[in-house]
Amino acid sequence: MIALNYEVKHIGKNKFSRPCYKLLPVKAYVVHYTANHGGTADNHFAYFNNLSGRYASAHIFVDRHKALEIIPLNEVAFHANERKVGPLIHSLKATAAYYPGGNANLNSIGIEMCMEKDGTIHPDTIKRTILVIQKLYKQFGVLPIYRHYDITGKKCPLPFVTDSKQWTKFLADVQKEEDEMQFSSPSLKAETELTLNSKARREIIVNAAVKAGAHESWRQKLKEGTITDADLLGLAAKYIVDTNK
């Protein structure tokens, strides 16, 4: 059993890594990998606490032992804004007077998975990252989860880009645990699973969830055809089941 083991230790104010810009309402969670062989969460705290000469950071670093929040979750981190013309995900395009063209950095939370010395991502790190996202679900709601790659085209996290099945499994695993915690009616769960392929049913689930408090971006995801069965199950579990109690 993997424990969340979540620690909060914020780096100091630094224009290159923690400018203390206000984060706009969160619209997504963005998953990265560090590409730094053997670097732990604590190693990355030390690095970003003293960063100079380049703009980079993320909110949370996860390794095989713990998750470490180095930037407050109401502040901007520099993790997903390489594209000058804006993000590939239209709903994440944003700007602010204090950060013109900040785009996805202004409305998403960045989560970095640390790498082992051999270049792999340890299974415990992946499982703990799932727990981190479930924690964020409780704080900010069930929002879209993207790879860095989905937003800017950068091949990050590389294992989830080169093997899309790993990414699909990751998303399913996030939802699997969430389903187990949220569904109070097995018969409703079975009924939902059987009817996900109905376009009308998918629209009913999304619209009901948004009305109950889910983020409006789910409607856009439905329109774009990028919403998954796992997404729908999660929305039904968190918003529809709960509101019918």
Q: φ, ψ for residue 5 (rounded to 5)?
A: 45, 60
CA distance 81 to 86: 7
Domains of the chain: 6-163 (3.40.80.10), 183-243 (no CATH)
Q: List the Cα angle 140/146/150 in 5-degree steps.
A: 150
Question: In the prediction, which pLDDT does 196 show?
Answer: 46
- If one compares 188 and 106, the residue with the highest pLDDT of the two is 106
What is the rounded CA–CA span in Å between residue 9 and residue 29? Answer: 20
Mind listing the pLDDT tens digit for each residue in 147-206? 999 999 999 999 999 999 999 999 999 988 655 544 434 444 444 443 445 666 778 788
pLDDT of residue 189: 44
pLDDT at 96: 97
Which residues have a Cβ under 8 Å from the Cβ of 100 and sit 6 or more positions away?
Answer: none
Q: Which two tokens stand for residue 153?
A: 């085209």
- Does pLDDT of 245 surpass 70? no
CA 189, 180, 109, 119 torsion-angle sign: negative
* Alpha-carbon dihedral 227, 233, 238, 240, rounded to 10 degrees: 100
For 25-71, what is each residue's pLDDT tens digit? Answer: 999 999 999 999 999 999 999 999 999 999 999 999 999 999 999 99
Beta strand spans in 117-193 (E): 145-147
- Beta carbons within 8 Å of 226's beta carbon, 6+ residues apart: none
Task: Report how far apart, in Å, the C-alpha atoms of 234 and of each of 8, 92, 153, 206, 245 are.
Answer: 27, 21, 27, 10, 17
Per-residue model confidence (pLDDT) at position 233: 75
Can you list the pairs that 93-100 forms with residues at least 24 positions away whose Cβ atoms lie under 8 Å? 94/24, 96/21, 96/22, 96/24, 98/21, 98/22, 99/19, 99/21
**Sheet of 145-147: strands edge to edge?**
6-8, 67-69, 60-62, 108-115, 28-37, 145-147
Sign of the CA dihedral 233, 236, 241, 242? positive
Supply the pLDDT for residue 195: 42
